């Protein structure tokens, strides 16, 4: 055991190996940054509900925003709120676009719900009152999981400009009185959530709901069959239901205020599937520009480890010198092999630790524990299998021949098999519509004949758990074959290498 640890320490603490480890760590952080950038450029992972009112008598703009991700959890970031005046006249001409004037802008930090005010100067307020331009509000939100920008017009009523996104209006029965706000209703497989921002004067309001498949206005008023959601307060409200309403299209809402004043509204039900961000992170991590592209360069380090542990010292006669001590060839062979495997496992672990930490810092989300384990097994398995092959070659050939053969095999596994698959698919299927699928299928089949194929297999199983795996792969990738292939790629070269090593001349 001491010999294994000694060789492991020597292989790990080499300047070249430490440099490689640093590259592994940087690669993990770099991959996290690529995923963060991809998510940041997308507006599909972040949403918000917003309501704003501008009192034309005081010049106070009150803005309420609730920002959240597609898993319906509060999102943290910054928001730029801009009050603008739009000239719609130009838009009425062919090819014309509306011009606008930025009147007031403010950038604030946000973490979920934020209620803030923006005071306007006397001149800014006069401009709004006197201009013929249409006032609007633009909200640009940037979070770790994406950005979103919304611009819409104010609506004026009773000396107040009101803005909302998405808008909700409660109408009082038998009256023209209105209550303004913003809200979204989400239904998952097992639960539902309702976000609501309301402009009401007090907390003496109760909210009821009834699911429906019609949006007829006004809805049938029957509070006896309506379900109480709870009390409603001014500003932001969040309600969680332990049942799913995904089979319905709308929700009729009834707001009962002081003196039993009843208001009604309806809202469409939006279906959502929890884990959307995890699926997005996984999809980006295991795409062709994700972990796979980094794993393609890791075998170069493995190639060098086998060279440094066996091929190089053998060419210098150092292994023959070690045998002068009470050490057998078998001891020398297996201890250096295990030391190399431990170095590979350590390197792979550092890569995924850096990747995981980078995701948490940059995105706030990462892969699930099961997915990280599968990914680690895929990358570490590929590198260990390739190391076994290189170790066998180092035991059978001289150092110069070792470098030539292993570099050739590395290039063959990296790009040669893809070229072979493309040529075979073209020869067999021509330019038919199924050519691309056949190329993919042949690539997966050739992965069984490559020690580097296990990264692709692990990617497939992770994509399969997220229901986004390519269909053509399911007919080729079978778990028993993957396990058998992995065992053979690791054990067979190790055994054959020992047959060569025990009879090899260790002084050349």
- The span from the CA of 419 to the CA of 380, in Å, is 25
Sorted by sequence, the CB contacts under 8 Å of residue 72 that are 6+ apart come out as: 186, 193, 272, 274
Question: SS3 for 255-304, per residue?
Answer: EECHHHCEEEEEEEEEECCCCHHHHHHHHHHCCCCCHHHHHCCHHHHHHH
Q: Is the pLDDT of residue 67 over 70?
A: yes
Which sign does the torsion angle of CA 353, 359, 364, 368 carry?
negative
Are 173 and 221 in contact by the 8 Å Cβ rule? The answer is yes
pLDDT for 212 equals 83
pLDDT tens figures, 159-175 = 889 999 999 999 988 88
pLDDT tens figures, 436-487 = 788 888 888 899 999 998 888 988 888 887 777 778 888 899 999 999 999 9
Q: Is the pLDDT of residue 185 over 70?
A: yes
Kindly report the pTM of this predicted structure: 0.73
Residue 124 Cα distances to 98, 134, 151, 313, angstroms? 21, 14, 19, 80
Are 171 and 263 in contact by the 8 Å Cβ rule? The answer is yes
Burial 341-374 (b: 16+ CB within 10 A, else e): bbbbebbbebbbebbbebbeebbbbbbeeebbeb
pLDDT for 91 equals 42
Instruction: Name the nearest CA neighbour of 77 among 44, 40, 42.
Output: 40
Neighbouring C-beta atoms of residue 485, cutoff 10 Å: 21
pLDDT for 92 equals 41
pLDDT tens figures, 3-18 = 556 556 665 666 666 7
Q: Is the pLDDT of residue 320 over 60?
A: no
Burial label for 31, CB within 10 Å (0-12, 13-18, 19+), is: buried
């Amino acid at each position: 055991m001491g010999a294994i640890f000694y060789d492991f320490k020597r292989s790990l603490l080499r300047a070249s190996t430490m440099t490689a480890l640093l590259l592994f760590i940087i690669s993990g952080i770099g991959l996290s940054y690529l995923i963060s950038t991809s998510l940041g450029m997308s507006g599909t992972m972040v949403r918000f509900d917003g309501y704003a009112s501008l009192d034309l008598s005081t010049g106070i703009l009150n803005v309420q925003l609730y920002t959240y991700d597609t898993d319906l959890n509060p999102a943290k970031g910054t928001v730029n709120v801009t009050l603008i005046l739009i000239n719609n006249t130009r838009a009425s001409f062919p090819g014309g676009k509306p011009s606008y004037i930025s009147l007031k802008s403010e950038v604030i930090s946000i973490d979920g719900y934020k209620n803030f005010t923006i005071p306007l100067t006397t001149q800014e307020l006069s401009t709004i009152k006197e201009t013929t331009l249409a006032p609007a509000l633009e909200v640009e939100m940037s979070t770790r999981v994406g950005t979103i920008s919304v611009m819409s017009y104010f609506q004026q009523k009773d000396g107040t400009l009101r803005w909302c996104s998405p808008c909700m209006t409660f109408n009082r029965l038998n009256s023209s009185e209105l209550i303004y706000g913003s809200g979204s209703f989400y239904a998952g497989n097992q639960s539902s959530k309702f976000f609501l921002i309301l402009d009401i004067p007090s907390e003496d309001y109760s909210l009821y709901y009834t699911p429906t498949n019609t949006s007829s206005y006004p809805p049938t008023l029957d509070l006896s069959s309506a379900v109480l959601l709870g009390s409603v307060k001014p500003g932001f409200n969040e309600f969680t239901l332990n049942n799913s309403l995904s089979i319905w299209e709308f929700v009729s809402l009834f707001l009962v205020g002081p003196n039993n004043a009843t208001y009604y509204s309806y809202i469409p039900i939006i279906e959502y599937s929890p884990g959307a961000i995890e699926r997005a992170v996984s999809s980006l991590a295991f795409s062709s520009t994700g972990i796979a592209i980094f794993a393609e360069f890791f075998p170069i380090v493995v190639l060098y480890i086998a060279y440094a542990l066996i091929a190089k010292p053998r060419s210098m006669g150092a292994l023959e010198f070690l045998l002068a001590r009470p050490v057998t060839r078998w001891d020398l062979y297996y201890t250096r092999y295990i030391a190399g495997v431990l170095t590979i496992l350590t390197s792979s672990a550092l890569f995924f630790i850096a990747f995981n930490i980078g995701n948490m810092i940059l995105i706030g989300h990462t892969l699930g524990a099961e997915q990280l384990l599968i990914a680690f097994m895929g990358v570490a398995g590929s590198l260990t299998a390739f190391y076994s092959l290189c170790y066998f070659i180092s035991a059978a050939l001289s150092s110069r021949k070792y470098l030539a053969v292993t570099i050739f095999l590395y290039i063959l596994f990296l790009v040669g098999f893809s070229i072979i698959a493309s040529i075979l698919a073209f020869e067999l299927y021509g330019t038919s519509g199924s050519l691309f699928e056949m190329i993919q299928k042949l690539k997966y089949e050739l992965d069984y004949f490559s020690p580097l194929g296990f990264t692709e297999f692990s990617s497939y199983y992770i994509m399969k758990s997220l229901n986004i795996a390519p269909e053509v792969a399911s007919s080729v990738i079978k778990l028993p074959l993957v396990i058998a292939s992995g065992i053979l790629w690791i054990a067979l070269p190790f055994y054959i290498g020992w047959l060569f090593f025990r009879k090899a001349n260790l002084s050349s």
